[in-house]
Structure 1
Amino acid sequence: MNVEQLKAIDVHTHAETSRHNPGAKHAFAEAAEKYFGESEHPNAWEVAEYYRELRMAAVIFTVDMEMKTGEERVPNEEILEAARENPDVLIPFASIHPARGAMGVREARRLIEEGVRGFKFHPNLQDFYPNDRMAYPLYEAIAEAGLISLFHTGHSGMGTGMPGGGGIRLKYSNPMYIDDVAVDFPEMKIILAHPSFPWQDEALSVCLHKPNVYIDLSGWSPKYFPENLIHYANTLLKNKMLFGSDYPAIKPQRWIEDFERAGFRDEVKPLILKENAIELLGLGGDG
């Protein structure tokens, strides 16, 4: 991956369908389309093609929510396959539900050996508190490998407007639960995904206090960012904020257009769009 040629690095994108099973559509897709106003459900190869046209790289993953929905997940192996075939634009993360236990830990160790660069957790869609000791064996495998854990935080676009929120409980996504994880695994890099409404101050505090915690700015248009988030991004946390779009829910072009007008300082913009991700992901030079 030639980072010098990239305009930006998006640390939060989804492969929502499988190339080998393209008809599958997750249970929350229709509600998410209404919430975000987007109806695309790309597979990993389609994400690669899209980002190559934009001259951007993308961290890509799926979400293991089989236990909640009963629907087959997009295989982690498919994410890795697409990344191997598109190494100029794709950075593969995996997703494993912590409740898979020892089986999940074995899967994680195998995926790490095969080249995955991090793991995505979605407490709302996986019905667990991030500091539940059930998840610790999985974190241990990730930490031992020096990889990254990315956690959904805050309000969930998934389930919004559905009866009972589609069964999604927002309580699991308070970033303060991840503070425990950051204490217990100080060697593991952690990304708090999204502006963490309604717990934005908690997220900023955890990120400020714990050297291993970062924030990605995905899932919201920057024109809706709270003032305190922009303030900290411009000052004390300028080296710990990351560009993320949440594609396909939000297109990166729209995000960047709004970002340019949202009050971020000119000297901070390149840090957020690319430079902080280069350092966090270890992408220096042509690596």
Structure 2
Amino acid sequence: MSGSAIDVDALVAIDVHTHAEISGDGHRSLSPELFGASAEYFKAQGHRQPTIAEMAAYYRERKMAAVVFTVDAEHATGWPRISNEEVAESCAEHPDVLIPFAGIDPWKGKAGVQEARRLVERYGVRGFKFHPSIQGFSPNDPMAYPLYEAIEELGAIALFHTGQTGIGAGVPGGGGIRLKYSDPMLVDDVAADFPGLRIILAHPSFPWQDEALAVAVHKPTVHIDLSGWSPKYFPPQLVRYANSLLKDKVLFGSDYPVITPDRWLADFDKLDIKPEVRPKILKDNAARLLGLTTH
């Protein structure tokens, strides 16, 4: 994926995990009930839901680039998604700082596969975000395999939410969201069955951190992003592996706007990360994975 408008050398960092939470016409990516639960969980009540143009200005000011996506969980929630085309077109207006990913509900079957192809080929989408708990599917369900096959063939990335989620937290029954679907061991099956598919396990994977580390060490195409948590709360084994066996496979992600890169980076500065590893996590690993650089 060459021809990027992003000047990697001029960047301080690449944030691989940010959310488009609101569309141009004011439609939210989540229902008010689930969004309220997420805001409470992250102690982010009242946080603004920036437009993609505002996100571009925010990251440009900080000399960072950002991957942007939304989640499509229409099958399980009945809540209409934000248009992937809108996200991609908005990112295309800011190609110096924004990188479009998309969200496709795997329950959409052949229609989802066709959409994935169209989004990559016509809109320049670089990857796809899955949230198994919200979408109500197990990552290793053969139902989703035609979509993974297309993503692998297209050379795009599959990013899976792993671990507990703040969405639905505290709502009766957790809003019907089942945490078991976000066990990274389920993604291990995907990595085994699609050896060419580049995968990101999103977040410190509480309560399955050791499982996520094992999968990332064992499967060559599996990476881990560090979004959704302040670095001061990272489990010690995650820091240890990021400093050693996984130094080329761990990626900076914030979960903006619920966690800002400012807060994340301030806490990351205090973490015991080797000087030679720090730039890998903040930028170099992501630049290579996203095809922004050849080294």
Q: Secondary structure at the match of 1:92?
A: strand
Distance 1:101 1:78 in 2: 21
SS in 1 for 2:101: strand
| Correspondent of 1:119 among 107, 128, 140 | 128
1:142 is matched with which residue: 136, 146, 151?
Answer: 151
From the superposition, tell whether residues 151 and 23 of structure 1 become closer, same or farther in structure 2 (CA, over 3 Å): closer
Following the alignment from structure 1 to structure 2, what is the Cα–Cα distance between the partners of residues 41 and 26? 12
Q: Residue type of the partner of 1:282?
A: G
Please, which of 172, 177, 183 is the counterpart of residue 174 of structure 1? Answer: 183
**Partner residue, 1:15:** 20
Aligned partner of residue 192 in structure 1, secondary structure:
strand
How big is the shift at 1:23? 4.7
Q: Give the 3 Å change call, closer, same or farther, for CA 168–134 of structure 1 in structure 2.
A: same
| Matches of 1:106 and 1:178, distance apart in 2 | 23
Letter of the structure 1 residue corresponding to residue 26 of structure 2: P
Report matched runs for 1:151-170 at 5 Å.
151-170=160-179
Indicate conservation of the 8 Å contact 2:28/2:82, yes or no.
Answer: no
For the pair 1:30 / 2:36, whether they are aligned, the reply is yes
d(CA) in 1 for partners of 2:43, 2:274: 29
- Equivalent in the alignment of 1:249: 258
Q: Which letter does structure 1 place at the counterpart of 2:10?
A: Q
Cα deviation for residue 192 of structure 1 reads 0.2
* Partner of residue 223, structure 1: 232
Aligned to 2:53: 45
Matches within 5 A, 1:202-241: 202-241=211-250
Matched, 1:191 2:200: yes
Question: 2:59, 2:66 within 8 Å by CA — same for their partners in 1?
Answer: yes
Runs of 4+ deviating beyond 4 Å: none
Q: Deviations over 1:183-233 (max 9, x none)?
A: 111111000000000000000000000000000000000000000000000
* 1:68-93 deviation line (CA, Å, top 9, x unaligned): 22222110001111111000011000
Partner Cα distance (2:81, 2:233) in 1: 31
Give the 3-state SS of the residue equivalent to 2:204 in structure 1: coil
Q: Deviations over 1:83-116 (max 9, x none)?
A: 1100001100011011100111111111111211
CA RMSD in angstroms, aligned pairs only = 1.1
User: Does 2:111 match 1:107?
Assistant: no
SS of match in other structure, 2:117: helix
Which amino acid in the other structure matches residue 111 of structure 2? Answer: M
- Separation (CA, whole Å) in 1 of partners of 2:68 and 2:131: 14
SS in 1 for 2:66: strand
Give the match's secondary structure for 1:9. strand
**Matched residues, percent identical?**
62
Is residue 158–residue 200 contact of structure 2 (8 Å, CA) maintained in 1? yes
- TM-score, normalisation: structure 1: 0.97
Show CA shifts across 1:104-154 (max 9, x none): 111111111121101000001100000000000000110001110000000
Please name the residue that 2:3 is paired with: none
Decide whether aligned partners of structure 1 residues 262 and 136 sit closer, same or farther in structure 2, where only a CA change above 3 A counts.
Answer: same
**Structure 1 CA distance for aligned equivalents of residues 136 and 225 of structure 2:** 22
Number of residue equivalences: 284
For 1:12, what is the secondary structure of its paired residue?
Answer: strand
**In structure 2, the residue corresponding to 1:94 is in which secondary structure?**
strand
Tell me, which stretches of 5 or more residues in structure 1 are unaligned? none
Match of 2:287 in 1: 278
Q: Quote the residue 2:69 is aligned against.
A: 61
Deviation at 1:25, TM superposition (A): 5.8
Post-superposition Cα deviations, 1:29-59, rounded to whole Å, max 9, x if no partner, equal 1111111122222232221121111111000
TM-score normalised by structure 2 residue count: 0.94
